[in-house]
Amino acid sequence: MSFPSAPADYRPSPTLLQGKTILVTGAGDGIGRSAALAYAAHGATVVLLGRTESKLEAVYDEIEAAGGPRPGLVVLDLATASEDNAIHLASGLAQEFPHLDGLLHNASILGERRPVESAGYAAWQEVMQVNVNAQFLLTRYLLPLLQAAPAASIIFTSSGVGRNGRAYWGAYAVSKFATEGFMQVLADELENTSRVRVNSLNPGPTNTAMRRTAYPGERPTDNPAPEDIMATYLFLMGDDSAGITGRAFNAR
């Protein structure tokens, strides 16, 4: 089965995201960091959410130094995030912004990669908490702000092992199947009643800390850097993808 990407000749307008407010989870490192920088470079006010304050501050400084709109910064560990945290986040954002135009669910953890017969329950639960439950909490409570936008986009981050199961990928693979399922359920619910579109995006092998951990034998530079795979992240977040919902994309 093949999955679409942004058109091969896609060249986003420099003002693609001007005036939009976009929340990115896991914005301090890897693909989330690059997406936050790319969104800001195309005019968005980016709300940087992550668990390591110093990394978020570094991204904040990079955006400001490049002349981008002043970002928001939210330190939240999704492994322990509660319903109250999500409610508090939504009410805090509602005081600052009239609406939210985009939500990139990017933060994930790899967890254990081992046979199911020896997998640990605590490790399984942590992966499900960060990769699935936290996505539910943020989506559930940010939805009113997204629905208040003239047009909004939610992107869920998938993986190849969330579309075809593979031995030893355990909770991570199952969490990505759940992510695809969540995307489909939400897209179907919102299709005829809302201007919020919902899609999933598999970045493919990308040179980040997660990839280097998962494939220690690989030469890291054989995979593209996060900043080199941003076309589909921009396409799906901006109005060029208006009307597209419920679809599973590949970044390349």
* Residue 28 binds to ligand NAP (criterion: CB under 6 A): yes
Q: What is the 3-state secondary structure (H, E, C) of the chain?
A: CCCCCCCCCCCCCCCCCCCCEEEEECCCCHHHHHHHHHHHHCCCEEEEEECCHHHHHHHHHHHHHCCCCCCEEEECCCCCCCHHHHHHHHHHHHHHCCCCCEEEECCCCCCCCCCHHHCCHHHHHHHHHHHHHHHHHHHHHHHHHHHCCCCEEEEEECCHHHCCCCCCCHHHHHHHHHHHHHHHHHHHHHCCCCCEEEEEEECCCCCCHHHHHHCCCCCHHHCCCHHHHHHHHHHHHCHHHCCCCCCEEECC
Binding mask 142-171 for ligand NAP (x = CB under 6 A): ---------------x-x------------
* Residue 173 binds to ligand NAP (criterion: CB under 6 A): no
What's the chain's Rg over C-alpha atoms? 17
60 is catalytic: no
* Residue 79 binds to ligand NAP (criterion: CB under 6 A): yes
Q: How far is the CB of 179 from ligand NAP (least distance, A)?
A: 8
Determine the interface stretch with ligand NAP among 39-47, 135-143, 198-206, 229-237 (rule: CB under 6 A). 198-206
Of the candidates 5, 45, 85, 106, which one interacts with ligand NAP according to CB under 6 A?
106
Q: Name which of 78 and 237 has its Cβ closer to ligand NAP.
A: 78
Q: How far is the CB of 226 from ligand NAP (least distance, A)?
A: 6
* Residue 206 binds to ligand NAP (criterion: CB under 6 A): yes
Residues of span 222-241 touching ligand NAP by CB under 6 A: none
Q: Name which of 20 and 211 has its Cβ closer to ligand NAP.
A: 211
Q: Name which of 105 and 149 has its Cβ closer to ligand NAP.
A: 105
Q: How many residues bind ligand NAP (CB under 6 A)?
A: 28
Q: Name which of 50 and 68 has its Cβ closer to ligand NAP.
A: 50
What's the rounded Cα separation, in Å, for the pair 150 and 242?
Answer: 11
Positions that interact with ligand NAP (CB under 6 A): 26, 28-32, 50-52, 55, 77-79, 106-109, 130, 157, 159, 202-203, 205-206, 208-211
Active site residues: 172
